[in-house]
């Protein structure tokens, strides 16, 4: 067998296994809805229609996927170094809040583009600092980064609630405490010809950038070496602390940018709905994508589609809202379980078989 | 072997059927051209059966289902993000909805406003009373009720029931709507006995069951013997209070089934009337008022039926005040009213009727309320 075919076959394992796991999850979900007394064929037909069946549905799916792409990077990037960061929600919230603060701090009459750039920079810096703090606590103090990033999320949400109902509150926002609006002129609009905001483009660009950084640069190589074995990396003279904190910063910056997009493209101000749970769904996306920055994009679209179709299941079949949560859960468990199957099928490794 | 083949064939047939269904659904026009049935969309921020805010709206929506030519589509647990915009659009594009009720307060700005601009021919009605002429699109409107009237009546009944003269209030956020309910409840109780106090605990979130239970327990530990609340789902508060042997006054919907012993009465929304009125106007092609408000008199709010623990004396007093509300000559905020930090907020001789816009920026608590804004 020619060399490239062998390599192709080996690479296809990474595609075939998750797809098979996905198919298996669908079968399990089909059994679940049948037990719930609904025709699975109708469920799948509606899900397809709600997620991808019409031009509107596709845009609905992409719109819902947009924040998930950036939020997932917050978990996927530190994972290259062997860190499990689950605090994307906190970085997103801090990013959104700081972005609004930046917009409000600029004098009136600043050109919108300048305001938007300042917002993005401030949002990324704040989100980055938030996760870098977790990384630093890990490196210098030995604090478990999973726990610290989760706890930092609670702090971030508390800061958000305090700021929007206290120091940064717009007195005109009586029953929905919010910061003053950033102004319509400063909002970032939709991608031309689509009803999807720019967050999707930012997310895809960020994913590609992250992949290049991790797969094609010495920085990425060093980072992955830390992920492989911290001690070996330190022994060979790699600056483990710096790699760790910089990667955490970039990861947090991705989530912070997601927060900036939320306020600049959707809400127009910072308020409690900013903490909508994208950061938590992002963890799911990152794990399903096996922490691969490029795989984050299709997985986010898949979850966006499930989310988009959930409403139709509620409306047409009278299924409870939790139905799509069940599907998400099944997919998560089956894909994680399928991890154990890598390398166990000879068809993907013809050399070993021979 | 034969049986295995049968299963395979069935699977294949099912697959073909699924493929056919997908193909058909992808080509059919979704907006029904024969729009004789009016599709009305309802969106809830929480669960439809939360014994609270969302259930009150869902009960209102349920009242429409029996009307001829009306189809109701509903979606629950929709967050106040771009998700609600997409849910509205999904109802419009895939279900053909022409009248939409996004019921959560936070759906209004920017989400509903954005959709209303995008679909100027459709009608969007929002619960919260935020519509302002000249500022908001003509195809939008809002409705809200002076539910503090019913809270005042609850306060009266609570005032009679309380032995310790200490009432408790589990509240979500210190915003004007909530503060007004706390004040009206307390003033109602103080109309029975001016020495009554009301301990308020803010949870900070609209729906945070764990904190609500903790708050209720903490109130019970402090000697409070009647509890009410203003959170999205009063279920946990009422259940916890019943377990601790306290009396409760409900909110949003009736929680009487959750507290057969301690439930006194409650302040409820009467959305079925509001929604039926709206839909009748809509289907008749008549103009829809952009702002609908009212209290007990207009039938927008109501009180729960008295529970066994409500004394005859309390019922008599509350019914008399209710009659005054129904006649339109009851004023809750009549001077002198002092705040709990010692300021006179309403001078003797002045009064603020229910429609007074000044009451809607309330940021103070009356004397006798223990707690800060």
Cβ distance of B18 and A45 shorter than 8 Å? yes
Supply B189's token pair. 């109780």
Map residue B300 onto helix, strand or coil.
Answer: coil
Among residues A157, A254, A258, which one has the least CA distance to residue A210?
A254
Average pLDDT score over chain A: 92
Interface of A with B (CB under 8 A): 41-42, 44-45, 48-50, 53-54, 56-57, 60, 63-64, 161, 165, 174-177, 197, 262, 266-268, 271-273, 276-277, 307-308, 311-312, 314-315, 320-321
- Give the Cα separation of A104 and A120 in Å (integer): 13
| Cβ pair B94:A56 closer than 8 A | yes
Picking from B21, B80, B94, the nearest residue to A273 by CB comes out as: B80
In the predicted model, what is the mean pLDDT of residues A288-295? 92
CB B353 within 8 A of CB B146: no
Give the pLDDT confidence score for residue B272 in this predicted structure: 94
Domain boundaries, chain A: 1-38+321-354, 50-318
pTM, rounded to two decimals: 0.87
> CA angle, A287 as apex, A286 and A292 as ends, to 5°?
55
Q: What is the Cα–Cα distance from B14 to A43, expressed in whole angstroms?
A: 13
- pLDDT for the residue numbered A350: 67
Share of chain A above pLDDT 90, in %: 79
Q: Prior bond to A131 cis, omega within 30?
A: no
What phi, psi does A280 have (nearest 5°)? Answer: -75, -40
Q: In this complex, which of B14, B93, B360 lies closest to A56 when CB atoms are compared?
A: B93
What is the ipTM metric for this complex?
0.89
Give the mean pLDDT per block of 10 residues along chain B (373 residues).
Answer: 42 43 39 67 94 95 93 94 95 95 94 95 91 91 94 97 97 94 97 97 93 97 96 96 97 96 96 95 92 94 96 97 95 95 94 91 95 84
Helical (H) or strand (E) element with B181: helix B176-190
Q: What is the pLDDT of residues A189-236, one digit of tens each?
A: 899 988 899 999 999 999 999 999 999 999 999 999 999 999 999 999
> For residue A335, what pLDDT band results from cuts at 50, 70 and 90?
confident
- 8 Å CB contact of B83 and A64: yes
Among chain A residues, CA nearest to B129: A175
Which residues in B lie closer than 8 A to residue A315 (C-beta atoms)? 73-75, 91, 95
Confidence (pLDDT) at A303:
93
The nearest alpha carbon in chain B to A265 belongs to B82
Q: Does B114 touch chain A (CB under 8 A)?
A: no
Looking at residue A268, the DSSP 8-state letter turns out to be S
Of B18, B81, B360, the CB nearest to A273: B81
Instruction: Quote the pLDDT of residue B14.
Output: 46
Nearest to A175 among B90, B94, B177 (CB): B177
- Nearest by Cα to B160 from B312, B321, B304, B373: B312
| pLDDT at residue A172, rounded to an integer | 86
Q: What is the pLDDT of residue B31?
A: 40
Cβ proximity of A108 and A181 under 8 Å: no
**What is the average per-residue pLDDT within A310-339?**
89
Which pairs count as long-range contacts for B296-300, CB under 8 Å and 24+ apart, including other chains?
B296/B146, B296/B149, B296/B150, B296/B322, B296/B325, B296/B326, B297/B325, B297/B326, B297/B327, B297/B328, B298/B145, B299/B270, B299/B273, B300/B143, B300/B144, B300/B145, B300/B146, B300/B269, B300/B270, B300/B273, B300/B274
Q: Select from B14, B90, B175 the Cβ nearest to the Cβ of A175.
A: B175
Give A34 to chain B, closest Cα distance, Å.
Answer: 14
Q: Do residue B14 and residue A177 have CB atoms under 8 angstroms apart?
A: no
A15 pLDDT exceeds 90?
Answer: no
Which residue of B39, B46, B109 is the best one to mutate when testing the A interface, meaning the one whose CB has the most A CBs within 10 A?
A: B109
pLDDT in the model for residue A351: 63
Residue A138 has pLDDT above 50, yes or no: yes
| CB contacts, 8 Å: B171 with chain A | none
Supply the pLDDT for residue A174. Answer: 83
Chain A residue at shortest CA distance from B83:
A64
Environment class of residue A353 by beta-carbon count within 10 Å: exposed (0-12), middle (13-18) or buried (19+)? exposed
CA–CA separation, A319 vs A314, rounded Å?
5
pLDDT of B6 reads 42
DSSP string across A59-74: HHHHHHHHHHHHHHHH
Count of residues for chain B? 373
Q: Does B14 touch chain A (CB under 8 A)?
A: yes
Of B17, B89, B128, the CB nearest to A56: B89
pLDDT at A292: 93
Taken in order B107, B109, B111, B117, the sign of the CA dihedral is positive
Measuring CA to CA, which residue among B271, B266, B273, B228 is closest to residue B246? B228
Whether residue B255 lies within 8 A of chain A, CB to CB, comes out as: no
> What is the C-alpha to C-alpha distance for residues B60 and A130, in angstroms, rounded to an integer?
45
Chain B, nearest residue to A269 by Cα: B110
Q: For residue B189, what pLDDT is reported?
A: 97
pLDDT of residue A1: 59
Q: Which CATH class is domain A50-318?
A: mainly alpha
Helix (H) or strand (E) holding B228: strand B226-230
Q: List chain B residues with CB under 8 Å of A175.
A: 105, 128, 175-177
Q: What is the number of CB-based contacts under 8 A between chain A and chain B?
A: 101
Q: At what angle do helices A218-228 and A199-216 cross, to 10 degrees?
A: 80
């Amino acid at each position: 067998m020619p060399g490239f075919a062998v390599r192709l076959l080996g690479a296809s394992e990474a595609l075939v296994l998750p797809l098979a796991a996905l198919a298996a999850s669908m079968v399990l979900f089909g059994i679940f809805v049948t037990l719930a007394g609904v025709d699975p064929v109708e469920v799948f037909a509606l899900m397809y229609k709600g997620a991808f069946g019409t031009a509107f549905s596709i845009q609905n799916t992409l719109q819902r996927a947009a924040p998930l792409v950036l939020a997932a990077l917050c978990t996927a990037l530190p994972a290259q170094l062997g860190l499990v960061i689950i605090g994307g929600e906190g970085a997103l919230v801090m990013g959104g809040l700081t972005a609004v603060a930046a917009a409000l701090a600029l004098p009136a009459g600043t050109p919108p583009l300048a305001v938007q750039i300042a917002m993005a920079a401030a949002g990324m810096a704040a989100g980055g600092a938030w996760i870098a703090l977790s990384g630093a606590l890990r490196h210098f103090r030995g604090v478990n980064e999973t726990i610290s990033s989760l706890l930092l999320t609670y702090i971030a949400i508390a800061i958000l609630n305090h700021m929007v109902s206290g120091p940064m509150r717009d007195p005109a926002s009586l029953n929905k405490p919010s910061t003053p609006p950033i102004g319509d002129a400063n909002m970032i609009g939709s991608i031309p010809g689509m009803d999807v905001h720019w967050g999707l483009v930012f997310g895809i660009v960020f994913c590609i950038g992250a992949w290049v950084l991790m797969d094609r640069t010495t920085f990425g190589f060093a980072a992955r070496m830390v992920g492989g074995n911290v001690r070996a990396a330190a022994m060979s003279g790699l600056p483990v602390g710096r790699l760790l904190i910089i990667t955490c910063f970039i990861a947090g910056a991705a989530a912070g940018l997601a927060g900036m997009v939320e306020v600049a493209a959707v809400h127009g101000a910072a308020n409690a709905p900013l903490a909508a749970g994208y950061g938590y769904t992002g963890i799911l996306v990152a794990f399903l994508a096996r922490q691969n920055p490029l795989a984050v994009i299709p997985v986010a679209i898949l979850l966006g589609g499930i989310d988009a179709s959930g409403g139709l299941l509620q409306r047409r079949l009278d299924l409870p809202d939790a139905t799509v949560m069940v599907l998400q859960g099944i997919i998560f468990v089956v894909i994680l379980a399928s991890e154990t199957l890598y390398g166990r099928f000879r068809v993907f490794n013809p050399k070993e078989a021979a | 072997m034969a049986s295995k083949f049968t299963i395979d064939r069935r699977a294949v047939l099912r697959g073909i059927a699924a493929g056919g269904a997908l193909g058909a659904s992808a080509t059919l026009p979704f907006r029904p051209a024969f729009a004789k049935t009016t599709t009305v969309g309802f969106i809830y921020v929480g669960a439809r059966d939360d014994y609270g805010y969302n259930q009150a709206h869902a009960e209102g929506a349920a009242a429409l289902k029996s009307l001829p030519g009306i189809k109701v589509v509903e979606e629950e647990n929709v967050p106040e993000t771009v998700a609600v915009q997409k849910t509205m659009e999904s109802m419009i594009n895939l279900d053909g909805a022409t009248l939409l009720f996004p019921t959560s307060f936070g759906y209004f700005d920017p989400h509903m406003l954005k959709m209303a601009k995008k679909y100027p021919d459709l009608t969007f009605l929002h619960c919260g009373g935020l519509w302002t002429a000249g500022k908001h699109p003509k195809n939008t409107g809002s409705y809200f009720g002076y539910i503090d009237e019913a809270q005042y009546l609850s306060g009266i009944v609570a005032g009679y029931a309380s032995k310790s003269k200490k009432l408790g209030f589990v509240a979500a956020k210190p915003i004007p709507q909530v503060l007004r309910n706390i004040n009206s409840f307390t003033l109602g109780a103080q109309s029975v006995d001016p020495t009554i106090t009301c301990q308020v605990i803010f949870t900070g979130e609209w729906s945070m069951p764990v904190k609500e239970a903790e708050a209720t327990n903490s109130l019970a530990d402090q000697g409070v013997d009647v509890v009410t609340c203003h959170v999205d789902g009063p279920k946990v508060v009422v259940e916890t209070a019943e377990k601790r042997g306290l009396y409760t006054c409900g909110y949003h919907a009736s929680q009487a089934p959750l507290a057969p012993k301690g439930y006194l009465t409650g302040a409820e929304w009467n959305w079925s009337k509001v929604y039926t009125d709206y839909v009748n106007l809509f289907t008749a092609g008549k103009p829809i008022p952009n702002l609908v408000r009212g209290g007990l008199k207009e039938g927008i709010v109501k009180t729960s039926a008295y529970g066994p623990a409500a004394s005859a004396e309390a019922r008599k007093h509350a019914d008399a005040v209710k009659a005054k509300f129904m006649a339109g000559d009851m004023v809750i905020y009549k001077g002198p009213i002092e705040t709990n930090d010692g300021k006179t907020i309403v001078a003797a001789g002045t009064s603020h009727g229910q429609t007074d816009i000044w009451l809607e920026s309330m940021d103070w608590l009356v004397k006798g309320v223990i707690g800060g804004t």
